[in-house]
Structures are given as C-alpha cells and as structure tokens.
Amino acid sequence: MTEPIELPDGRRLLVVEDGEALAAAAAERFVATTTAAVAARGRAIVALSGGSTPKKMGELLARPEFAGRVPWGETDLFWGDERWVPLASSESNAGEARRAFLDAVPAPPERIHPVATDLASPVRAAEAYEAEIRRVAGTAEGIPVFDLVLLGMGDDGHTASLFPGTAALHERDRLVVENFVPKLGVDRITFTYPLLAAAREVLVLVGGAGKADTLARVLEGPTEPEGLPSQSVRVENGTLTWLVDRAAAGSLRSAGQSG
C-alpha cells in the first residue's frame, strides 16, 4: 500500500495493488473503526453499500483470520442504499450481504437493519429507514453520526443511489429519500449528502480499469454536481478516503506522482 495522498477539500486517496488488497484494506478499516467506536462509545454504527467490493470485504470478515476481531455484538449495520426488491432477490443489497457473509458471522439479528422493502411504497420505506436510523443512533434532532460509511462508485459517477441528474442530489433536509432513477426505470432508497457528511469516516471503494476514467473526472476533473454525484461527497468532521486499486487509479495524475 502506498502512503495516502492528500487531495483538495480534505479528501484522501489510498492506492492498493489489486482487488484482493482493496477488500483486505477495507476489512482492516472495518475492524479498526468498529473496535475504536466500541471502545469510545460502547457501540459502532456502520453503513454498508451494495456492489462487489464490500461483498468481498464481508466474505473476508467471515473468514477465520478475522474471527473475533470484529465486535459484531455491538455493531449496528445499515445500508447506504437499497433497491426496491424483496430481501430474497439477488438485487437486494441487504439480502446479498446476508447470503455472502452476514449469515456466517455472529452479528445479532436485532443489529442488522435492512431497508423495509415490504412496505407500501419506496417513500414509506425511506421515511421508516430514517426513523430507524434516528431510533438506533439516539438522535431525535440533528444528524446521526455513522462511525463508518462504505460507498462505491458506479461507471457513471453515482454513489449510493445518488445517480446523475436525479432529485436526491438536491435533498438538504431528509437523511434518507426514495430516488427514482429514470435511466434504469427503478426506485431506489438512498442516504443523502447531509447524512454522509456527518459521518466519522467515509470509505469509497473503487476497483478495476473500467472505473479509471470516471475516477479521474471525479477526483481531478472540473466540478460536475449533476453529472458526477460521487464528486460531491464531503465529510464535515471526519475523514473521507477514496480507497482504490492500481487499475482504477490508472488515469489519475495524483496517483502517478506516488509511483
């Protein structure tokens, strides 16, 4: 792993060798942030993302070398976004995480908080999820603080389910909203920028050469708030780290300097 590179606006970039190293580095951050949160506050609040890399990270966390290193009993798990499908669907972020690794670790069921996609509508589900986050985080007012939020970046620059040109990009009050994504013709439920901004640590995981050009535009290109939603992610009092593999970093000027 190279040293972190400081980017403008308080963002950090960390480049690792390949997809395996990316999942391993994410798993180590998961252990470190949950352990520190439990030591400081008695519990950890984490948001997982959909996508392939967090799944690999989770599979690692379920392996013997990580057994006993994650304080599962004191860790509340949420998802930064969800698809409007039943948990049993292979499209379900929470369902896939359960099948990939949560069923294999001692995470108490009452600490696993999937979006309720069996409610009457995505609007209801988003409202209920916001209420659940407030209930668990203990914040009736103000913005709840996640100890760790994992994100990914899509080829089109989306993150969580903040897609280019969609209404959720403009939400300033709600913590979680439903977001219709016209190009996919689907409803999503997503964290909003204000909730992300309140986190202690946000980790954006990006792997593979197919993401290289978008990543360069997001981290080093001109500001495109409508076109590249992941570019607008900021953290106010915590850290925001883009953890990427060498292939994804291939078009970055800043990563080139580090060799």
Handedness of CA 121, 156, 214, 52 (dihedral sign): positive
Q: State how far the Cα of 69 lies from the Cα of 132, in Å rounded to an integer.
A: 27
Cβ proximity to ligand 6PG, 21 vs 36, nearer residue: 21
Closest alpha carbon to 191 in 206, 203, 174, 204: 174
Closest distance of CB 228 from ligand 6PG, Å:
13
- Min separation Cβ 53 and ligand 6PG, Å: 5
Pick between residue 44 and residue 204 the one whose CB is nearest to ligand 6PG: 204
Rounded to whole angstroms, the Cα distance separating 187 from 39 reads 38
Closest to ligand 6PG by CB, 39 vs 89, is 89
CB of residue 36 to ligand 6PG, shortest distance in Å: 24
Q: Provide, rounded to whole angstroms, the least separation between the CB of residue 51 and ligand 6PG.
A: 3
Choice between 54 and 238, CB closer to ligand 6PG: 54
Residue 52 or 139 with smaller CB distance to ligand 6PG: 52
Shortest spacing between CB 67 and ligand 6PG, in angstroms: 25
Q: How far is the CB of 188 from ligand 6PG (least distance, A)?
A: 7
Residue whose CB is less far from ligand 6PG, 144 or 229: 229
Give the β-pairing of 81-83 and 186-191: antiparallel
35 or 52: CB nearest ligand 6PG: 52
Closest to 37 in 3D by CA, of 80, 79, 74, 78:
74
> CB of 153: closest distance to ligand 6PG in angstroms?
6
CA distance 18 to 1: 10
- Separation CA 107–CA 225 (nearest Å): 37
Strands (E), the chain: 5-6, 11-16, 44-48, 75-79, 81-83, 148-152, 176-181, 186-191, 201-206, 239-245
Q: Under the rule (CB under 6 A), what is the footprint of ligand 6PG?
A: 49-53, 81, 93, 152-154, 158-160
Which residue has its beta carbon closest to ligand 6PG?
152
Q: Determine the Cα–Cα distance for residues 129 and 131; give it in Å rounded to an integer.
A: 5
What b/e string do you get for 142-179 counting C-beta neighbours within 10 Å, with b at 16 or more? ebbbbbbbbbbbbeebbbbbbbbebebbebeeebbbbb
